[in-house]
Amino acid sequence: MSFLDQKKTKRLFAIHGWSGIALGVLLYVIVLTGAVAVFAHEIGVWSVGGAANDKGLTQPVDRIIRGLADKVDPKYRDDVGAYTVESGALSVFFHTHETKPNGDIGDRGVRFLVDPATGSVLSRAEGWSSDIYGQDQASALKRFLIDLHVQLYLPSPWGLILTGILGLAMMVAATSGLIMHRHILKDIFVAPRPGNLLLHARDRHVLAGTWGLPFAFLLAFTGSFLSFAFTIGMPIVSMSAFGGDKMLVGEILGGHAQTEDKTPAVVTNLDAVLADGQQRAGSAPTYIHVGHWGRADAKVGVWFEPPAGDLGFLQLGFNGVSGAFEGQKPRVGSKPSFGATASSVLTALHYGLFAGLLSKIIWLSLGLASCYVILTGMVMWFTRRREDPAWAPWTRMVPAIGYGLPLAMLVSAHFYFQAIGRSDTATWTPWGFALATLAVIAAAVAMSDRVELTRRLVLATAISAGLLPLARMMAGGRSWGEAVAIGEPVVVSIDLLLLIAAAALTWHWKGSPQPQWLRRRLAAAAQPEPAE
Amino acid sequence: MNANLASVIAIVVSLTGILLLAFENPKRRRAFGLPPHNSATLWRAAWILILLPPLYLLARQETAPLMMWLGALSVAGWVVAMRRPKSAPQSAEGTNRPLTTMTAWLARRGRAVAKRS
């Protein structure tokens, strides 16, 4: 397979190894949180204890939205977006597009959370959308995990730029690995060989890397695309072709009407539009948007789950006054194009949400397989340098990040449940993660025995996972009986998965090698007492 | 046919082919200390089993099941290939035990299928 001479292979090997070891920790964070974020919706539902009303937009919402429209400042009726959140409440956001003080385009308006069954307003918040959604306490855990994956919880746009670069680094690692490996097809079924530790570590890394290569490349490419699209792509297009008018670019990409008609008009019945759209799409609506509410040029867009066998979410357009169906709307622009199709497919392939639970499980497995490749790559790197005193302390990095990250994610969930119901849940959730990370780093620095560090981290992760269902229930979350009674399978499923994970980790902890100090103590105890 | 059902059937059929190829693979057999087993019929059957489902899905333009087939097979193929001889050392982190048990089970099923064919 390899067409490189020894010198070039060696150079490529160095690029592959150094890029992997330099960015491996951040890559592992992105890939693992990404794998978990595939189930972001389920995590959101579980964290709020399930939805008593899970009818979503299939229940009547027209009367509620119309009633709220009368209560808001007319300037915020420019755009209206509505969907149901994890708790089953209807979120309705009346907003307009304005330029933020930092020059970015943002949505500013009023967001209501409404009980869709009774129409009573649960909460009202006014301001920039980023601030409103950023302070949404109930979805704090889900949002934190997504933020960690999307932009490493760094300020925008730096986090997105960094994750985009990491995506490129992952592509470099995948490509260089492919070129370096001389017998990629011959070795595709060769199990890791026993004996030599380094050879064994190499086989594990190469085998997992080879099988996961197409998807590692695909997920890295689509991730980079999504990161760079709005941080670099859109500003470049806006500067080069639209004189820096980001608002105009947004309008064109959104496919909004070019000709305006501000004549007052009554908005069509949204329930009728949703029913019509559902019949056409053959799947459930997830989001409804009304542009230019109360005007003759009003447009309604309805988003649907991907129809059976398709990859992308479906968006149907309707006239906002007559309710007449106007056709399927592409993801980008107003007319079908290669760019719109590519954007839709790339997004769908990155998220893996296109076929319900099955595609989510497969995408989660792909993410976990990529984590395995990253970790085994690190094991190989440190095994090769285990005799070097300069590198020896760094060998503890592998268990520290391998188990430390899942542990920190679990601790952040514990903090979330401790703070739930308060106004600072969204603050404490990331703090839980940060404190757990610092504790793991301190443990890795303090403990010189890597085996002991591994054992303690495994045990801590097992305890943390095992106690999480209890913490959720003690924080006022639904019990299993209550969850079953309202027909919510997600709560019980995630609780059970956590308990299974805790049991598996405890089993692993019990079977893992004993640390040096315990081995020495046991050996000393086994020594026969000297005869008097 | 339901898209998810089509995906599952495609994955199971192709996974059978993967198991057969793993059973036949000469380098793998050497690592396990097994005698060579070169059956052209088995090899052809394995490739037919692997390639038939994606070709069918492609012909029907079932893009979602096709992507799920590709994703699932890359994970399942890895799990099959990961099975190690018993004398192999535990990894430094000891992360392989559940995987080894699973791959051993899959390999046993693969051998049973291969014997029947």
pLDDT digits (tens, 9 = 90+) for A102-130: 777 889 999 999 999 999 999 999 999 98
Q: Answer yes or no: are the C-beta atoms of A383 and A198 closer than 8 Å.
A: yes
Mark yes or no for CB contact B27/A190 under 8 Å: yes
Mark yes or no for CB contact A192/B2 under 8 Å: no
CA-based nearest residue in chain A for residue B83: A191
Mean per-residue pLDDT for A347-365?
93
* A11-20, A144-153, B99-108: the lowest-pLDDT one: B99-108
For A477-525, write each residue's pLDDT tens digit. Answer: 999 999 999 888 999 999 999 999 999 999 999 877 666 666 666 677 6
- A366: chain B residues, CB-CB within 8 Å: 71, 74-75
Chain A segment 396-435 residues within 8 A of B by beta carbon are 398-399, 402
* pLDDT score, position A111: 96
User: What does the alpha-carbon distance between residue A503 and residue A345 come to, in Å, rounded to a whole number?
Assistant: 39
User: What does the alpha-carbon distance between residue A314 and residue A326 come to, in Å, rounded to a whole number?
Assistant: 14
Mark yes or no for CB contact A194/B87 under 8 Å: yes
Roughly how many angstroms between the first and final C-alpha of chain A, as a whole number?
71
**Which segments within A50-161 are labelled E, that is strand?**
79-84, 90-99, 105-114, 121-128
Partner-chain residue, chosen from B64, B80, B89, that has the shortest CB–CB distance to A311 = B64
User: What does the alpha-carbon distance between residue A301 and residue A343 come to, in Å, rounded to a whole number?
Assistant: 18
Q: pTM for this one?
A: 0.86
CA-based nearest residue in chain A for residue B84: A191
More confident residue, A251 or A47: A47
Mark yes or no for CB contact A189/B67 under 8 Å: no
Asked if the ipTM is above 0.95, the reply is: no
- B2: chain A residues, CB-CB within 8 Å: 308
* pLDDT score, position A329: 85
- CA of B116 vs chain A CAs: smallest distance (Å): 21
Mark yes or no for CB contact A186/B94 under 8 Å: no
Partner-chain residue, chosen from B78, B84, B90, that has the shortest CB–CB distance to A208 = B78
Distance of CA A459 to the CA centre of its chain: 26
Q: What is the mean pLDDT of chain B?
A: 80
Residue B34, helix vs strand vs coil? coil
**Sorting pLDDT into bands at 50, 70 and 90, what band is A344?**
confident
**How many CB pairs below 8 A link A and B?**
140
Maximum distance among all alpha carbons in chain B? 47
CA dist B46 → A63, B13, B70, B113, B115 (Å)? 59, 10, 16, 11, 13
More confident residue, A391 or B87: A391
Partner-chain residue, chosen from B21, B92, B98, that has the shortest CB–CB distance to A504 = B98
Mean per-residue pLDDT for A328-352?
86
User: What does the alpha-carbon distance between residue A347 and residue A341 come to, in Å, rounded to a whole number?
Assistant: 10
- A358: chain B residues, CB-CB within 8 Å: 4, 7-8, 68
CA-based nearest residue in chain A for residue B61: A309
For A448-482, write each residue's pLDDT tens digit. Answer: 888 899 999 999 999 999 999 999 999 999 999 99
Mark yes or no for CB contact B94/A513 under 8 Å: yes
* A74-78, A118-122, A311-315, A320-324: the lowest-pLDDT one: A311-315
User: What does the alpha-carbon distance between residue B19 and residue B81 come to, in Å, rounded to a whole number?
Assistant: 9
- CA of B71 vs chain A CAs: smallest distance (Å): 6
Q: How many residues does chain B have?
A: 117
